Copies of this chain bind each other. A is one copy, B any other.
Amino acid sequence: MPVIGIDDGGFEKGVDKTAILVAVLIKDLSIHAVRFNQIQVDGLDATEKAIQLLEGLNFEAIMLAGVSFAGFNIIDPTVLLNVFGKPTIIVSKRKPNNKAVKRALFRHFKDWRIRWSVFEKLGEVHRFSISGKNYLYFEVLGLDFKEAIELIKSLTIIGRCPEPVRVAKLIAHDLYRRMK
């Protein structure tokens, strides 16, 4: 099943105005396409840019490495679900701490309500581990919990990150490092 993974490169606080957004298409555990875009640090364009990245690609599900990219530029997974009609899974190695997110948004953004509204729409946080430790945390839209686990399991071969997210992360980080 062809699955998209999305992650961002890094950025230097107070210096970089944009960061890289990378989408990869993984099918049968192999990479079949890569797309690159740039998003504004702490901007509001990540959802739109993610949609541009995915246009023209054939896929059956999307995996996001979180919902905040390039600081607090948020990809709204409900919009992706509406536009593409494919289930979206938000994965993270760390347990999401939405209270801390809300506090940070409130402190730093006048438009914090817009950004926070995305977090509010996310469902329950699940966790999953093949080994019984090193959990992968995830939220899922458009798919039930068990199906999401099966999908994650089928795509996890190195560490705890499913291939689409692992590969997107790797490319985004190495590209960022090179551009410094």
- A31 CB contacts on chain B under 8 angstroms: 31, 167, 170
Give the interface segment out of A34-42, A81-89, A141-149. Answer: A34-42
Minimum Cβ distance to chain B for residue A99 (Å): 36
CB-CB under 8 A for A35 and B171, given A29-B29, A30-B163? no
Task: Check: A51 CB closer than 8 A to any chain B CB.
Answer: no
Q: Looking across the interface, which residue of chain B has its beta carbon closest to that of A37?
A: B178
Contact B157 A36 (CB under 8 A): no
- A175 CB contacts on chain B under 8 angstroms: 34, 36, 175
Oligomeric state, in number of copies? 2
Task: From B33, B163, B171, give the contact of A34 (CB < 8 A).
Answer: B171
- A35 CB contacts on chain B under 8 angstroms: 174, 178
Distance, CA A60 to CA B30, complexed state (A): 21
Distance, CA A178 to CA B21, complexed state (A): 11
Task: Check: A158 CB closer than 8 A to any chain B CB.
Answer: yes
Distance, CA A4 to CA B79, complexed state (A): 38
Distance, CA A170 to CA B31, complexed state (A): 9
Contact A30 B157 (CB under 8 A): yes
Contact B33 A178 (CB under 8 A): no
Distance, CA A103 to CA B180, complexed state (A): 40
Distance, CA A178 to CA B31, complexed state (A): 17
- Per CB-CB distance, the 9 closest pairs between chain A and chain B, nearest first, are A36-B178, A34-B174, A34-B171, A36-B175, A31-B167, A30-B158, A35-B174, A34-B170, A31-B31
Which residues of A approach B to under 8 Å, CB–CB? Answer: 29-37, 157-158, 163, 167, 170-171, 174-175, 178-179
